[in-house]
Amino acid sequence: MTTGNDNERNVIEVRGLRTQFDDFIVHDNLDLDVREGEIIGVVGGSGTGKSVLMRAIIGLKRPSAGTVKIFGEDFYEANERERLSVERRWGVLFQGGALFSSLTVAQNVMAPLREHLNVEGELAKDMAALKISMVGLPAEAGSKYPSELSGGMKKRAGLARALALDPELVFLDEPTAGLDPIGAAKFDDLIVNLKESLGLTVFMVTHDLDTLHAACDRVAVLAERHVIACGPLDEVRQADHPWIKEYFAGPRGRAALAAKAV
């Protein structure tokens, strides 16, 4: 597997990663690079550990072996201060948005500002309003609670919170899951627009074939405990592996390809 290019800066470098739960090994000897300014989509069958990989990279699941470098920093060898400095440079959108149910949308977005930057008062409100606007939510959404939002609005609110600290790197876990096709397509467009306007690097766990075609610069495929293919979508689709053939050449894969050609 090709992991990187000497002419491109890697924001994330994963080498020899092993993750496991007791004796159950999820990943073994996994390598992956994420390049600056790209949207990379991570796909794989059920149980291949797509979300576990993301959690290992952001420090929520310590690997049993291997290294994770982010912005050149060996994340698990760094001290607490160094890790906090790296964490401030990324944002995370978990599945479903993972908003604090007792806080309004604006308060959710302000939470990282208060925790990491000690920003309070009108400045925090203004910064939250800007992020809410950036993700395409109306201003009045800021005063609503998560229970008052649709599924798509929750995801956008979660994305606004992920962007609160002006990150360089954003992690998205199944961002279009549960959305109707129109809502999913609009969210894909939003991610691409934000990536281009803000200069973001995006690590996206997804199973959505339309998203791969619409948004991703490269695709990494997880199978057999490691990355079996990584590259532009058209290259990955040609890989000689049973799961890849079934995934991309099946009915949904053909439909997604046909939709792209229209």
DSSP type of residue 149: S
Residue 155 lies in a domain: yes
What residue type is assigned to position 166 of the chain? D
Global pTM reads 0.91
| Alpha carbons 82 and 70: distance in angstroms, whole number | 11
Q: Which long-range contacts (CB under 8 A, 24 or more apart) does 224-229 make?
A: 225/25, 225/26, 225/27, 225/28, 225/29, 225/30, 225/49, 226/27, 226/28, 226/29, 226/30, 226/31, 227/1, 227/30, 227/31, 227/32, 228/1, 229/1
pLDDT score for 90: 97
List the domain range (segments joined by +) for residue 120. 101-166
Dig out the tokens for 260 from the structure: 């792209």
Residue 134 lies in a domain: yes
Mean pLDDT of 116-126: 92
- Judged by phi (left if over 0) then psi (alpha if -120 to 50, else beta), residue 109 lies in alpha
Reported as a single tens digit per residue, the pLDDT across 75-111 is: 999 999 999 999 999 999 998 778 999 999 999 999 9
Mean pLDDT of 44-59: 96
Q: How confident is the model at residue 249 (pLDDT cuts 50, 70, 90)?
A: confident
Task: Of 25, 34, 38, give the one whose Cα is nearest residue 58.
Answer: 34
Residue 142 lies in a domain: yes
Dig out the tokens for 209 from the structure: 């074939």
The answer to whether the CB of 45 falls within 8 A of the CB of 224 is no
Residue 242 lies in a domain: no
Number of domains in the chain: 1
The answer to whether the CB of 41 falls within 8 A of the CB of 214 is no
Percent of the chain clearing pLDDT 70 (strictly above): 92
- Judged by phi (left if over 0) then psi (alpha if -120 to 50, else beta), residue 242 lies in alpha
Identify the three-state secondary structure at position 11: strand
pLDDT at 260 over 90: no
What residue type is assigned to position 187 of the chain? F
Reported as a single tens digit per residue, the pLDDT across 131-155 is: 999 999 999 999 999 999 999 999 9
